[in-house]
């Protein structure tokens, strides 16, 4: 008989899917609840550093991702106007040898679909928006927007930047609009063949107050992707993203290098997203409730490590439950927080400052990290 506590994960984003998969693998009866009616393939890319690939190895999808993704040999940083190289960060074979796994870039939708496929499909529930939790008894009672009520011993809030669980723990507070937006577009590499230009596998074009990060999202290099950071003082759209246009892109990147102009010329469809943050939270868990990922440390995406932190959180949370025994869940949650707070807050800060790999630096503190192997720090109160 399984004596492990029942666990509910709220949100089947990248952090929630990782948590669900690792918990189910470790034998916890786990249900995942997602508000979206179905899985959707958002047109965007994502970097998966060696730190994340080590978690994917545990989940059992590392090889599939290696086959699916693009494997850049370098992260290049270049001056947006002149094209001059500011940094050349070795990835490829160097990453595999020195950080313990590959550095890949993939289509976010392909990654998400693969991660969600690793969950027990009978315990994955779409169209379930959590509206309330009552954590006053022996079980947590969850109420969903469709009127249904469910119970679990422990509840993990992996419900993103506008987390309902965070609100329950800390009260209502909107995330901070950073004053920057991100444009996102996927471009057919076929179109780029018309240009006598080199389109590198992973390159960030910089100027003082803005940038454009560009990479392939498929191993066959047929889909190229850009994501920007551009200042925009206000965000009054009230939605998580809006449409943008080639004209808006031309204006934002006027004077940029011909390679960037070619990307803009080849843009068929582009969206614009507000970049949201929160200051480090004073509370990550209380009683039977615990947060992970953007629910507790949303950040600007300028290190390409937001989802990575959510996935590392998931791995560390499961490790801590196993370490102290899930019956000691409050101890496990505090051990988890102790081992994640400093790293997540540092990544939030560097992302905010947007300095990551702008010049040559050693990225080992990010990429070599392994949430399953890093020595655990004990909470100071123990
Ligand atoms: P989310 O992915 O937001 O998932 C939360 C889930 O919870 C969603 O599916 C949502 O529908 C669901 N949900 C919300 N509320 C409820 C509710 N009440 N009930 C039930 N379900 C609910 N990170 C990287 O690591 N690499 C990158 O290259 C990268 N690029 C980025 C580019 C941009 C432009 C942006 C904006 C972000 C980028 N990030 C990147 C960051 C990354 O997207 C986030 O940090 C990551 O998605 C956080 O994962 P999460 O699971 O915590 O939250």
- Report pLDDT digits (tens) over 12-41: 999 999 999 999 999 999 999 999 998 888
**Residue 18 in contact with residue 8, Cβ under 8 Å?**
no
Per cent of the chain over pLDDT 70 is 99
Is residue 202 lining ligand 1, measured as CB closer than 6 Å? Answer: no
Q: Is 47 a catalytic residue?
A: yes
pLDDT value of position 355: 97
Note if 74 is an active site residue: no
Task: Say if residues 50 and 101 touch (Cβ distance below 8 Å).
Answer: yes
DSSP, collapsed to helix, strand or coil, labels residue 190 as helix
The whole-number average pLDDT for the span 50-70 is 98
pLDDT of residue 3: 84
Distance CA 313, CA 341 (A): 10
Using the predicted structure, report yes or no on whether residue 1 has a pLDDT greater than 70. no
Confidence check: pLDDT of 381 > 70 = no
Q: In what order do the strands lie in the sheet with 140-144?
A: 130-134, 140-144, 149-152
In this predicted complex, what is the ipTM? 0.97
Q: Over range 54-82, report the average pLDDT.
A: 98
Ligand 1 test: best mutation among 160, 175, 305, 363, most atoms within 8 Å of CB?
Answer: 160
Q: What is the rounded distance in angstroms from the CA atom of residue 146 to the CA atom of residue 95?
A: 47
Mutation pick for ligand 1 pocket among 110, 310, 357 (CB with most ligand atoms within 8 Å): 310
Q: How far is the CA of 271 from the centre of ligand 1 (A)?
A: 16
Average pLDDT score, the chain = 96
**What is the per-residue pLDDT for 329?**
97
Distance, in Å, from the CA atom of 365 to the CA atom of 342, rounded to the nearest integer, reads 12
- Is residue 114 scored above 50 in pLDDT? yes
Cβ contact 22:320 at 8 Å: no
Distance CA 277, CA 27 (A): 34
Indicate whether this model's pTM tops 0.95: yes
Question: What share of the chain has pLDDT > 90, as a percent?
Answer: 96
Q: What confidence tier does 382 reach under pLDDT thresholds 50, 70, 90?
A: very low
Q: Name the residue of 159, 182, 214 to mutate for ligand 1: max ligand atoms within 8 A of Cβ.
A: 159
301 lines ligand 1 (CB under 6 A): yes
**What's the CA-to-centroid distance between 333 and ligand 1, angstroms?**
21
What was the pLDDT predicted at 210?
Answer: 98
Q: Is the predicted pLDDT of residue 232 greater than 60, yes or no?
A: yes
Q: Where are the beta strands (DSSP E) in the chain?
A: 7-10, 30-33, 45-48, 74-79, 85-90, 104-107, 124-125, 130-134, 140-144, 149-152, 154-157, 176-188, 202-206, 211-216, 223-231, 242-243, 271-277, 285-286, 289-291
- CA-105 nearest atom, ligand 1: 28
Q: Two tokens at 286?
A: 């209380």
Closest-lying ligand 1 atom to the alpha carbon of residue 293: 52
Kindly give the distance from the C-alpha atom of residue 189 to the centroid of ligand 1, in angstroms, as a whole number.
27
Query: Mean pLDDT throughout 220-226?
Result: 96
Q: Max Cα separation, the chain?
A: 67
């Amino acid at each position: 008989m399984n004596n492990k506590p029942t666990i509910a994960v709220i949100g089947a984003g990248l952090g929630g899917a990782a948590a669900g998969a690792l918990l189910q693998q470790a034998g916890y009866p786990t249900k995942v609840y997602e508000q979206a009616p179905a899985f959707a393939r958002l047109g965007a890319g994502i970097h998966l550093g060696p730190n994340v690939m080590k978690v994917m190895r545990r989940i059992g999808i590392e090889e599939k991702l290696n086959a699916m993704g693009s494997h850049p040999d370098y992260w290049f940083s270049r001056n947006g106007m002149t094209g001059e190289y500011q940094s050349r960060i070795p990835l490829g074979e160097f990453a595999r040898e020195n950080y313990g796994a590959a550095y890949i870039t993939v289509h976010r939708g392909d990654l998400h679909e693969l991660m969600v496929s690793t969950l027990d499909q009978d315990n994955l529930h779409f169209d379930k928006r959590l509206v309330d939790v009552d954590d006053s008894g022996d079980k947590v009672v969850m109420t969903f927007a469709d009127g249904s009520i469910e119970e679990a011993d422990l509840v993990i809030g992996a419900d993103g930047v506008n987390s309902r669980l965070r609100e329950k723990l800390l009260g209502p507070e909107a995330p901070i609009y950073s004053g920057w937006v991100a444009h996102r577009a996927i471009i057919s590499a076929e179109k780029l063949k018309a240009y006598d230009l080199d389109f590198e596998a992973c390159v960030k074009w910089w100027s003082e107050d803005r940038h454009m990060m560009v990479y392939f999202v498929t191993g066959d290099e047929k889909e190229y992707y850009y994501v920007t950071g551009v200042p925009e003082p206000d965000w009054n759209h009230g939605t998580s993203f809006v449409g943008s246009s080639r004209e808006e892109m031309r204006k934002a990147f006027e004077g940029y290098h011909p390679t960037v102009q070619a990307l803009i010329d080849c843009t068929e469809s582009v969206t614009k997203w507000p970049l949201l943050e929160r200051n480090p939270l004073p509370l990550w868990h209380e009683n039977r409730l615990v947060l992970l990922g953007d629910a507790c440390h949303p950040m600007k995406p300028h290190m390409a490590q937001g989802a990575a932190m959510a996935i590392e959180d998931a791995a560390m949370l499961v490790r801590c439950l196993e370490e102290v025994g899930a019956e000691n869940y409050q101890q496990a949650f505090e051990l988890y927080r102790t081992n994640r707070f400093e790293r997540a807050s540092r990544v939030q800060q560097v992302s905010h400052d947007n300095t990551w790999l702008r010049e040559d630096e050693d990225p080992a503190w990010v990429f070599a990290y392994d949430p399953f192997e890093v020595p655990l720090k004990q909470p100071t109160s123990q």
